[in-house]
Structure 1
Amino acid sequence: MRTRIVALAVLASVLATCLFAVPLAVGVLQYAAQHERGHLVRVASDVAIDVSGDVYDDDPVDPDDIDLEEDDYSVAVYDDDGDRLAGGVPGEHRRMLSQALDGEVRTRSQDDLLVAAFPITHSDDVVGAVLVTTPRSTVLDQVALIWAGMAGLAATAVAITLLVARGQAWRLARPLEDLEESARRLGDGDFSVRTRRGGIEEIDAVGAALDTTAIRLDDLLARERAFSADASHQLRTPLAGMRLRLEAALERTDADPRQAIAASLVDADRLEAIIDELLGLARAGQAASAGPVDLDALLGEVGPEWAARLALHGRDLAVRVDPGAPDARASGAAVRQVLGVLVDNATTHGRGTVTVTVREAAGAVAVDVSDEGPGVQDPEGVLFSRQADRRDGHGIGLALARRLVEAEQGRLTLTSASPPVFTMLLPATSTGAREDDAVPARQRGG
């Protein structure tokens, strides 16, 4: 690209110089020739004035009158009959001499000579003529010097153009080379790449777009990696339960294993559904699948499963849905996963009855998940970080839950540390509250 820019600039400079210099050179030549003819006429006029008395009196012409200072000039003096009286010029110029004897002043180029003819007059009578010649090389020598100067200026202009073109080519090509390097690094997976601004609006716009793409890809990859790690953690608990059930069935050789196998198949189906939902959320994006979610119906679907899991620990599940609570605008799969995380967290780390409450909260939908345990000791900032998992197992699941809720334009917070209450706020649909607001809150028990 640099070579093409430089070549184009130099070619344009040479073309412009030629288009300007060639006519100017021809004009200089014509002007110099015309100027020389005018000088010949003045020289002939001076000679005619000096010799007019001698020619009129038929006296010999004084040699000093036709002795010119210019070595390249030749002079000849003629009488009114065309006979040469003094001096001499190369070549034959009968026609010009005849025209001068008729009283005309003539100049012309003949062969390699410039010739001027001037009449010699006395009073009003033409008594003779003067011819003055000079080689054309005299003019060409003068013009050659001018042409040499013009050629030097042209060469200087082209050289300056070359230097300017190289600077501009570097200025234009450098940002493009940086863009190429940045694009290559981005293709190799380096999402930290950032382009340098070159001061060219169009190229800087491309660089800004590439930077934005790198930031988005970096964020997307980081989210996908974190999501995958968190999701795998969420799958460990049901897998561990299924493994324990199968191991217990193997140890009890006298019992019928079909019940354990059937329960394990149910868990396997649930795991498959969880995996499908998580993959759908990770790849398709939660915002694209957001829609009205009937939380009452959703809790009716998943409540029995949670209640059965709590019953294994001798605990109960209570579900309360405020009739005045509107539907949530979110992804049903995301809400199901978040509630699963919160209930699992209460099952593992809490005590007593686990209560899930759905209520209206200032234009949003709030879902509270609480238990009767001693509470949470960690601050909220640590609780929702993945590092918290190293101490008590909270962090990765809650981090995933918060990420899912934020993707739905909602919030997940710890509203009470003791007894522990986790609240999920979701955007409400625009359809308003549920019908029959006067009906008391519905409650399910497990």
Structure 2
Amino acid sequence: MRKRIVRLAVLVAVLAVGLFEVPLLVAVGQYVLSEREAELRQDADDTAVDVAADLLRDNPVAAPRAHGQDTRISVYNHDGTRVSGTGPAQADSYVSDALDGKASARPLGELARSIVVAVPVTHETEVVGAVRVSSPRGEVYQRMGLIWLAMLGLTAAVIGLVWLVARRLAHRLAQPLESLATTALRLGEGDFSVRSPQTRIREIDAVGAALDTTAARLDDMLARERAFSANASHQLRTPLAGLRLQLEAALADPSADSRAAMTASVGAADRLEQTIDELLTLARTSSRTTAAGQLDLGGLFDDLSRTWAARVAADDRTLALTIAPQLPNANASPAAVRQILGVLIDNAVVHGAGAITVTAREAADAVAIDVSDEGGGITDEEPELFTRQAPHAQGHGIGLALARSLAEAEGGRLRLTRPAPPIFTLLLPAAAEEPTEEQAGAAPAVIPDSRG
């Protein structure tokens, strides 16, 4: 590309200079020739004035003095006979024209070795003789050659300057494209942090911006896939643990009804599949695109009770889920809220102690869901507690980080409102619609404790 730009620029310069310079060279040649003829005519006029009186009286004419070294001057009487100077002994056509009263010169386009000018010598209105002046064309050609050489040298300088400018322009155009090629290569190798440099060339910057946007999207997509892998491994432990407990309980009691165990296992497998689908949906959305109307807290709490009943009972602990009366509807994704509460309950099961309580209540213009247990408390600072794989998070990190990111994606907040005994509070935006009559008159919905 660089060579093509330079070659094209030099070719255009040569054509432009050639189209301009060739006519100029011809014009300069004509000008030099005309100027030399004017000089010879001036010499002839001066000589005619000097010899006019001598020719009138037929006196001897002194040899005329030429101003140029190669200039020859001859004087002729009215009969056409040379009487002084150097030149043809008898009048030629130019002298004859001059004796007829007409000044003459060799036409510019006629090929000849000399430039000839002849003028009449007059006394009042009478032609008494003629003066002939000639000069070889070599002197004219020498002048023209010097001028042409200077012009050709200037032409070479102009073309050289164009070559230098073209090289600089080619570098300016090619270097950003080479950088874009490098950027695209690194992007293809998986380096999504690469960004295209600004070149202040609009078209190239547009391509670079498109590459940067692609890199950012690929980086975000890869980050979501990695987050999904980490989150899935964390979130699937609970349903897998419940399924394992049910199967182990069935194996431990051979006399038990195997059909009931298989039915419970199928239910656990369904919940496991639901968890996988929800994680995939959440991983592939970056905004609140999964929210489908208002959140059904009653159905969600029933599902949480069925999911966690066996796990909590295995540790000889209780799980109580309560919904306050006249609670407004929350505007959030059921999948996201289910995953958030699943993380908080799992955190209470693994790191807490005693009864686990989940309470949904009204908080100003939001719906608050508190998850608490009777454990000794949390000593980590809140920023570190919600940081993924924090060094001192004591195992809380990945789950709580996931829960907070899901809450913020739904326009809500997740906070540790009390460290000991610990209470985590999830705040969700309340829906704009008024609560239904059923919800307004219903008593507090309490899901019985699950105990083994």
TM-score normalized with structure 2 length: 0.87
Question: Which residue in the other structure is 2:398 paired with?
Answer: 396
CA contact (8 A) 1:324 1:435 kept: no
Q: How far apart are the structure 2 equivalents of 1:92 and 1:283? A: 112
TM-fit CA distance, 1:143:
0.7
Question: Which residue in the other structure is 1:146 paired with?
Answer: 147
Question: Which residue in the other structure is 2:291 paired with?
Answer: 290
Q: Which runs of 4+ in 1 moved over 6 A?
A: 90-93
SS in 1 for 2:24: helix
Deviations 1:231-251 (A, max 9, x none): 212112221332343244334
SS in 1 for 2:115: strand
Question: Which residue in the other structure is 2:385 paired with?
Answer: 383
Does 1:185 pair with 2:186? yes
SS in 2 for 1:195: coil
CA contact (8 A) 2:74 2:131 kept: yes
Question: Which residue in the other structure is 2:445 paired with?
Answer: 443
TM-fit CA distance, 1:298:
3.7
Question: Which residue in the other structure is 1:47 paired with?
Answer: 47
Q: Which among 414, 424, 427 is matched to residue 426 of structure 2?
A: 424
| Within-5 A mapping of 1:123-162 | 123-162=124-163
SS in 2 for 1:148: helix
| Within-5 A mapping of 1:261-272 | 261-272=262-273
SS in 2 for 1:98: helix
Name the CA shift for 1:174/1:165 in 2 (closer, same or farther; >3 Å). Answer: same
Q: How far apart are the structure 1 equivalents of 2:291 and 2:60? A: 124
Alignment size in residue pairs: 443
| Within-5 A mapping of 1:362-381 | 362-381=364-383
Name the CA shift for 1:83/1:335 in 2 (closer, same or farther; >3 Å). Answer: same
| Partner amino acid, structure 1, of 2:116 | V
| Partner amino acid, structure 2, of 1:320 | I
Deviations 1:184-211 (A, max 9, x none): 1012101222333345455445445544
CA contact (8 A) 1:389 1:396 kept: no
TM-fit CA distance, 1:69:
4.8
Root mean square deviation of aligned Cα: 2.9
Name the CA shift for 1:333/1:142 in 2 (closer, same or farther; >3 Å). Answer: same
Structure 2: segments with no counterpart, 5+ residues: none
TM-score normalized with structure 1 length: 0.88
Moved more, 279-288 or 335-344: 279-288
Name the CA shift for 1:436/1:273 in 2 (closer, same or farther; >3 Å). Answer: closer
Deviations 1:79-112 (A, max 9, x none): 2233333445479985433332232322233431
Question: Which residue in the other structure is 1:323 paired with?
Answer: 326
Deviations 1:316-342 (A, max 9, x none): 3222144242331x3221122112222
TM-fit CA distance, 1:398:
1.7
CA contact (8 A) 2:228 2:280 kept: no
Name the CA shift for 1:130/1:421 in 2 (closer, same or farther; >3 Å). Answer: same
CA contact (8 A) 1:49 1:120 kept: yes
| Within-5 A mapping of 1:2-401 | 2-62=2-62, 64-65=63-64, 67-89=65-87, 94-109=92-107, 110-112=110-112, 113-200=114-201, 202-204=203-205, 206-306=207-307, 308-309=309-310, 310-312=312-314, 313-328=316-331, 330-387=332-389, 392-401=394-403
SS in 1 for 2:187: helix
Name the CA shift for 1:417/1:75 in 2 (closer, same or farther; >3 Å). Answer: same
Moved more, 91-100 or 424-433: 91-100
Name the CA shift for 1:393/1:135 in 2 (closer, same or farther; >3 Å). Answer: same
Q: How far apart are the structure 2 equivalents of 1:361 and 1:202? A: 53
Structure 1: segments with no counterpart, 5+ residues: none
Q: How far apart are the structure 2 equivalents of 1:301 and 1:7? A: 78
TM-fit CA distance, 1:306:
4.4
| Partner amino acid, structure 2, of 1:411 | R
